[in-house]
Structure 1
């Protein structure tokens, strides 16, 4: 069996993570430690050994490349696998899109299932149209895109805004206009999914997250709303590689998840990509003191 062969190739730390049966487990995976191998082996172990249907798993990644690699490995290990079973495997935005198109009552928000996903530039064009039609006072229009993003993400509020204008009225009117035009931005995909998940839960047995250190507040909310009752959590990441802090990643996400879900923490200290001499230098720059082995 392919799974048995894959498990035999794992080192002791990787195997411990794959076979761990905790309700919540966070794996501290250093660069070159076989993170993707562990993630895929975990999914296959849950499906083939623990008999968890793929439809009852949600697997979230940050890139289409990572999502496609996981799907290709799974389809290559199972004859006749219907890719529809992997609808909840993908990036945060692609999974949200799948749920809005196929599972959640999008009509409750005034949309139809044929809604269009728009680029930030088109959303900005719609915002400028609303400003003109409603004669809104908006200062610093060259920063409008960034201010809208901050307002939607909750980083900019009426209490902390130093600019007195109609930005928050614009956020409300822009949302209404997008509903009228049956269009959603990328942030709308997550926001609308989060809103619907508050009242329409899903049967998720396992929540599996790649590069968890890069989650921002909206993505953490998305994850939390998907986890109901007996949902288990398996997250992999490296707190030394927070690359999306510029757009709101929660820098202490490991601590937040460990505290919230009483998660067990494991590590993958063996690096297969670099020599021992390189790793000795790298240790000087690690913030969390994680051991590295070449």
Structure 2
């Protein structure tokens, strides 16, 4: 490997980026384990791309020996493009060279789940996983879980929620078990012991009295979860949770796989590490961290994340993975990995950062290495913060829409304005208020799309077709623009339905 870059100033000049001293320290660190606590707007993706360029350009690693993992296909595509552009800008790779026998190498950038899938495809036979195993799409998962639920022998008196909710609960429990590598038998034993202890306890209020009901319902749901897992195995099917759990088992029990992967990928980048689950952490640390054999420690793994942006605990993510990275991925001599911080925010002005730092202070105190965000030099007094305390929700939305309309009229492009909501339930009203003021709106994400009236009506039709007892969806359709049945007529229909049911029963 020839050396093309010799010092950090040359890297800055080649990429045209004025890196800060803390960014430069992260980029040019030796190829060893390190964790970067990167605050919002501090340029973490830029740093990851530049680190690849530095390691490749200084001759420490070849492009094809770099592995980058992130959570979404969009993020993986963005990181891959950033790395590719940076390598070309630095002259570390030449896309114009066409040599079938020796094509220019490129880093492997993937999602965590796709990486786990590749691992099972290439090495699954080591743990008895058949090559014919297929991955379940979300819709197919729901259909299979619904089939299992309908065909379950029952009865399950503890399960009192609606059928669609029970299907979702079953899938959620199956996923949580996989993400935490908890065997169903272990959870059943825990719930059984919990119920035994609760029988002897005095439950003094209504909330405490709900605990035995919830534990009993989870035990019943656990039995259904095991039936669902049996159904998947019999059909040679896996879902995303199974991928991670099985790949973690593979990495933990077959040390030769880690040896192969460490030889293939000399440098590993882990994006949004605060959102990884227990199973993902065990998978990655077994392959590239402390491992299952003495020579595994000291691999060049760079994890990037921000504990203050850890919002996926509900789906199994563990922010402790980021906090404990130095112990999980030690240096070759056993000392903890190096911790770096990125805290200069180039996205926001000083006034907004001052407010954000005050709100996030309790979070920073809970995690090591998290520094208060600071503005770029010269931006200390940039930006404006306005607060409004209004009497009603409607007044709040009108104030927001009027404020944005004023910004647009005074020259701010609509594409430079973002509205963040506490819940997706506010999307529809805010969108309607902005459209009424002739402001173009893009609702980002599926959650926002589902709140559009025409889409919500279509979803309601599907829910009623799948479950005629979905009363809320049925009422939406009957009172909507197609049928326009008023409340009084709905009451009469309900009375007639009860009468017909009574007659049929007798």
**1:100 and 2:120 are equivalent in the alignment:** yes
Residue aligned with 2:261, SS: coil
**1:219 and 2:280 are equivalent in the alignment:** yes
Task: Identify which of 258, 266, 271 aligns with 2:326.
Answer: 258
Judging by fraction of residues, say which structure has more helix.
2
Residue aligned with 1:163, SS: helix
Number of positions where the alignment pairs a residue of Structure 1 with one of Structure 2: 291
Segments of structure 1 that go 5 or more residues without pairing to the other structure are none
Q: Is the 8 A contact 2:63 2:105 kept in 1?
A: no
Tell me how far 1:185 sits from its aligned partner.
0.7
Report the CA distance shift for 1:121/1:84 in structure 2 as closer, same or farther (over 3 A). Answer: farther
Aligned to 1:14: 23
Task: Identify which of 358, 361, 364 aligns with 1:284.
Answer: 358
Q: Deviations over 1:26-63 (max 9, x none)?
A: 11111111111001111222223243234443311122
CA distance in 2, matches of 1:86, 1:136: 52
Aligned to 1:203: 261
Report the CA distance shift for 1:235/1:274 in structure 2 as closer, same or farther (over 3 A). Answer: same
> If the length of structure 2 is used for normalisation, what is the TM-score?
0.52
Task: Identify which of 23, 26, 32 aligns with 2:35.
Answer: 26
Q: Is the 8 A contact 1:60 1:92 kept in 2?
A: yes
Q: Aligned Cα RMSD in Å?
A: 2.9
Moved more, 147-156 or 260-269: 147-156
Residue aligned with 2:115, SS: helix
CA distance in 1, matches of 2:146, 2:154: 10
CA distance in 2, matches of 1:235, 1:110: 30
**1:126 and 2:169 are equivalent in the alignment:** no
Q: Which structure 2 residues correspond to residues 1-294 of structure 1 after superposition, within 5 A? A: 4=11, 5-6=14-15, 9-21=18-30, 23-76=32-85, 77=88, 78-80=93-95, 85-87=106-108, 89-101=109-121, 103-106=122-125, 108-112=127-131, 114-130=132-148, 135=153, 139=159, 142=166, 143-154=169-180, 157-161=187-191, 162-163=215-216, 165=219, 167-198=221-252, 199=254, 200-201=257-258, 202-204=260-262, 205-227=266-288, 228=291, 229=296, 230-260=298-328, 261=330, 262-286=336-360, 287-288=363-364, 290-294=371-375
Q: RCO (CA 8 Å, sep 6+): is it higher in 1 or 2? A: 1
Q: Deviations over 1:107-126 (max 9, x none)?
A: 743422x5432123422332
Moved more, 247-256 or 1-10: 1-10
Segments of structure 2 that go 5 or more residues without pairing to the other structure are 98-102, 192-214, 331-335, 366-370, 376-506
> If the length of structure 1 is used for normalisation, what is the TM-score?
0.85
CA distance in 2, matches of 1:224, 1:133: 40
Tell me how far 1:279 sits from its aligned partner.
1.1
Tell me how far 1:84 sits from its aligned partner.
8.3
Residue aligned with 1:104, SS: helix
Q: Is the 8 A contact 1:23 1:232 kept in 2?
A: yes
CA distance in 1, matches of 2:110, 2:104: 12
Residue aligned with 1:274, SS: coil
Report the CA distance shift for 1:109/1:70 in structure 2 as closer, same or farther (over 3 A). Answer: same
Tell me how far 1:250 sits from its aligned partner.
1.3
Q: Deviations over 1:202-233 (max 9, x none)?
A: 33233311111111212212211221414222
